Amino acid sequence: MLSTLYKKKLDDLLAICRRNLGEFNEKLIADAFKFSLNAHKQDKRASGEPFVIHPYEVAVIVANEIPLDDITVASALLHDVVEDTKFTYDDVKAEFGDTIADIVDGATKIEGMFENYEAKQIENYRKMLLSMSDDIRVILVKFADRLHNMKTLEYLNPERQVRMSRETMEIYAPLAHRLGLSRVKTELEDMSFKYLDRKFYKELSKKLNAKKRERDNYIKKFIEPIKKELNIEGFKYEIIGRAKNLYSIAKKMISRGKSFDEIYDLFAVRIILDTKDRNDCFTAYGIASEIYIPVPERFKDYISLPKQNGYQSIHTTLIGPEGKMVEVQIRTRDMHEVAEKGVAAHWKYKENISSNDKQMEDWISWIRELFDSSSRESTPKQIMEGLKLNLYQDEIYVFTPKGHLKILPVNSTPVDFAFDIHSEVGYKCIGAKVNGKIVPLDSKLKSGDQIEIITSKIKKPNQDWEKFVVTHKAKSDIHKYFNNERRQKIDEGREIWNKKLKKMKFTLSEDDMIKLFVRLKFDSIQGMYLSLADGLISADELYELIKDKNRLLNTEIDSPWVKLLEKNQYAKVKETEMNLFENYIKSARSSKTKIIAGGDVKDLMFSYANCCNPIPGEDIIGFISKTEGIKIHKKSCKNLSNLFLSDPQRLIDVQWPEQLEDEFFVGIKISGEDRSGMLNEITNVISGHSNTNIKSVSIASKGSLFDGTVILMVKNITHLNELIDKLRRIEGVFDVKRFEE
């Protein structure tokens, strides 16, 4: 039996569903409510209230804000069961069927995905987002979950408040925008803004509230003449007047460089017509523009040319009483439903999608394109940046020579247009005509432009295109092309080298190969293979250099090849600085700190990679080498992309333990004015901060300036950053930065 409190909550939820869902299965929702209540009965939230209140409130948000069907509401009630209780996916499946279990599973997997760029996990994200495109209810439940979490953010610590707010602002709000959920997007933006810039938020909120009565009176005065004329014409309508949301006002102030009092278009009026004839919207616009003077450049017709998320409305700005600008939106009731509830207002399962649901097909295509096979060629960070890039861009409307409409992001170029038509058109693009005139390929397109792409059968893409294209498809296709080309050359160079070694009956271990290419100043083994394939060095020349590998590893190299490498900027580090690190590298390898490895990896020895020298506090990842156990790299290490390309299965999750016994060596490069007492002041600052142990100092004067490298021991990244900050404050010091091999 349900208690009186929970019985009332269930009754309230069912009442909302009756109002917003039409026909639905009341027993399904009641059963889901009781299952959730039982599963979470021992749990509490950070606020101290029973945990079950959270899934209940999430279900209320779904039923109120983005109502779709009873399955979505039931899934919202159950969305935390698998993650936070003893019940499993199979338990939910047995009780409620495959569909609800899959939605709950998908919503669980989204949590935290956007902030984690680990290479081995990106495939899981790809599969999850593709499943989301098959059933949009996954993301709808997650939106409602995030909305309620943001409403209760005050109970978390400041660090988590900022982290969740940034993730919400960067991903969830733009994704809601992309799906046409304008009300959800606005709520998420304002709640994130509250924690990301508390002072600015409070200041704006106070000013907006102070003028609420004045604003309400003004809007009432503004809409009265419009209502009178609409009544005369016999329209059935609703007019809503409101102030714009705080975050949009803040953006206007920042972008225009104006104070709150200088922003005039703070008012927005929405005219919603109860009609099926979209031409009535233009009639209503004519009525409003007869009463108030319109601002011509602020007129936008999203009815004839809807946004990619299906949004339709007329936008105009009118000069109201006292010369104040008021933004006016005019739409039908159906258009308003789509504008507010977006994808939920017209979602149909794929087998039932009609020609009228093109925006749904576009949404599915967009998600699939973003995570299709070409994206496998990108790094995880590039894929997630592509997601962010495509979420929240304004749009332009351009046309093919035959008049077919293409919607592209603002600042798109002819190259973006070419790749939007087809990857092969992009690859073979040699020029473009815009409105009949040949233009540079990096020209910015404008709405209304008609573009013709000029192609050549033998043309291949230019890598410089990556610098100016803006669409994910163009960036991904260009990256894929050059990645494939690079891989083919690496394979070609590897084959050349292996044939040479086989011919000379010469063998090299993986460890020796790594040491040799470092001594020869290649940026990686792949770089060596590329040089062979490109003919920068022949296999005979390379073999002559390395055939006496013991001499090579222990003597200076005096070779035209090394000079050529330095000239071509293969040499990344000066030899003297490398030697400083090599003197201390063994101390890191004999560390007592036990790195925690994920998965089934147990009892493997580990060492820290020379190339990035990670220290506690930095995000790390492990690479299982063939001869040295697990190599620990920073996730930002420049060599990770090469390791990922060579064998992604050897990358594993690792993390620092909570308790650390060691100190870690690190190098600092410092430069500045060579004045009397400078060296003494530098060493005093270092040793005086947390008793930092200095292992080596190398200073070289150049006239009135000096450059130096200091090797020291630190506890973690915080220790290092504090030290660098103190050194930068020394009078006469110009630059201090961490040295990495």
Q: Tokens 């996990």 sit at which residue?
A: 121
Burial class (CB in 10 A: 0-12, 13-18, 19+), 84: middle
568 and 717 within one domain: no
User: So what's the pLDDT on residue 645?
Assistant: 59
CB within 8 Å of 46: residues ≥ 6 apart: 152, 155, 156
CATH code for the domain of 93: 1.10.3210.10
Task: Tell me whether strands 437-439 and 693-702 are parallel, antiparallel or unpaired.
Answer: unpaired
Domain co-membership, 28 together with 166? yes
Q: Are 223 and 231 in contact (CB under 8 A)?
A: no
In the prediction, which pLDDT does 73 show?
Answer: 93
Any domain includes 695: yes
User: DSSP letter at 169?
Assistant: I
pLDDT of residue 74: 93
At residue 382, φ and ψ (nearest 5 deg) are -65, -40
Give domain status of residue 579, yes or no. no
Residues 6+ apart with CB under 8 A from 145: 58, 76, 79, 80, 107
Residue 580 domain-assigned (yes or no): no
Q: Nearest 5 degrees, angle CA 422-CA 448-CA 429?
A: 30
Residues 421 and 389 in one domain: yes
* CA–CA dist 149, 161 (Å, integer): 10
- Verify that 518 and 449 share a domain, yes or no: no
Q: Decide: helix, strand or coil at residue 346.
A: helix
What is the C-alpha separation between 375 and 392, in angstroms, rounded? 20
> What domain count does the chain have?
6
Please say if 84 is a catalytic residue.
Answer: yes
- Provide the 10 A C-beta neighbour count for residue 671: 16
Amino acid identity for residue 577 in this structure: E
Shared domain for 20 and 145, answered yes or no, is: yes
Q: Which of 397, 238, 231, 222 is nearest to 317 (CA)?
A: 222
731 tagged catalytic:
no
Residue 582 lies in a domain: no
pLDDT value at residue 581:
45
Q: Does residue 631 form part of some domain?
A: yes
In this prediction, residue 458 carries a pLDDT of 75
Residue recorded with tokens 């200091």? 710
Q: Both tokens of residue 425?
A: 């058109």
Question: What is the predicted pLDDT for the residue at 227?
Answer: 94
Number of residues that this document lists for the chain: 741
**Would you state the structure tokens that stand for residue 37, as one six-digit string?**
């209540």
CA distance 439 to 414: 9
Q: Name the packing angle between helices 472-504 and 525-534 (round to 10°).
A: 80
Based on the fold, state whether residues 472 and 544 are members of the same structural domain. no
Which domain CATH number covers 397? 3.10.20.30
- Could you tell me if 471 and 500 lie in one domain? no
- 3-class DSSP assignment, residue 268: strand
Q: How far apart are CA 713 and CA 691, in angstroms?
A: 10
Output DSSP code: residue 168.
I
Residue 100 burial class via C-beta count within 10 angstroms: exposed 0-12, middle 13-18, buried 19 and up:
buried
**CATH code of the domain in which 708 resides:** 3.30.70.260
Model's pTM, two decimal places? 0.56
Transcribe 63-77 into DSSP letters: HHHS---HHHHHHHH
pLDDT tens, residue by residue, 387-404: 555 554 567 888 888 878
**For residue 603, is it left (φ>0), alpha (ψ between -120 and 50) or beta?**
left
Q: Which of 26, 43, 83, 90 is catalytic?
A: 83
Tell me which of 480, 511, 532 is where a domain ends.
Answer: 480
Domain-ending residue, one of 149, 165, 198: 198
For the chain, which residues score pLDDT lower than 50? 115-125, 127-128, 348-356, 373-377, 380, 392, 557-561, 563-592, 599, 741
Q: Looking at residue 292, what is its pLDDT?
A: 94
Tell whether 237 is covered by a domain: yes
Q: What domain range is 598 assigned to?
A: 592-655
The whole-number pLDDT of residue 389 equals 53
Q: Are residues 526 and 636 in the same domain?
A: no
Residue 189 is predicted with a pLDDT of: 93
Q: How far is CA 407 from CA 393, 560, 741, in A?
A: 11, 54, 46
Rg (CA), the chain: 31
- Taking phi over 0 as left and psi of -120 to 50 as alpha, with beta for the rest, 97 belongs to left
Q: What is the pLDDT of residue 156?
A: 84
Q: How far is CA 148 from the centre of its chain?
A: 22
Res 58: pLDDT: 92
Amino acid at 109: K
Q: Is residue 628 part of a domain?
A: yes
Closest CA to 588 of 713, 691, 692: 713
pLDDT attached to residue 237 = 93
Q: 335 and 365 share a domain?
A: no
Q: Spell 686-700 as b/e; 16+ CB within 10 A means b.
A: beebeebeeeebeee
Report the C-alpha gap between 664 and 693 in whole angstroms.
10
Q: Of 301, 316, 344, at which residue does a domain stop?
A: 344
Cα–Cα distance, 97 to 85 (Å, whole number):
19
Q: Does one domain contain both 135 and 226? A: no
Pick the catalytic residue from 31, 84, 229, 385: 84
In a domain, 585, yes or no: no
- Please enumerate in sequence order all residues whose Cβ is within 8 A of that of 636, keeping only pairs 6 or more positions apart, or say none: 612, 618, 619
665: tokens are 């060596």
Amino acid identity of residue 236, one-letter, is K
Q: CA-CA distance, 730 to 430, in Å (whole number)?
A: 54
- CATH value at residue 209: 3.30.460.10
Query: Tokens 């040491």 correspond to what residue?
Result: 515
106 plus 165 within the same structural domain: yes
Distance CA(259)–CA(619), nearest Å, equals 40
392 secondary structure, DSSP code: S
The β-bridge partners of 701 are 706
CA distances (Å), origin 252, targets 7, 246, 262, 320: 46, 10, 10, 20
Q: Does 319 share its domain with 368?
A: no
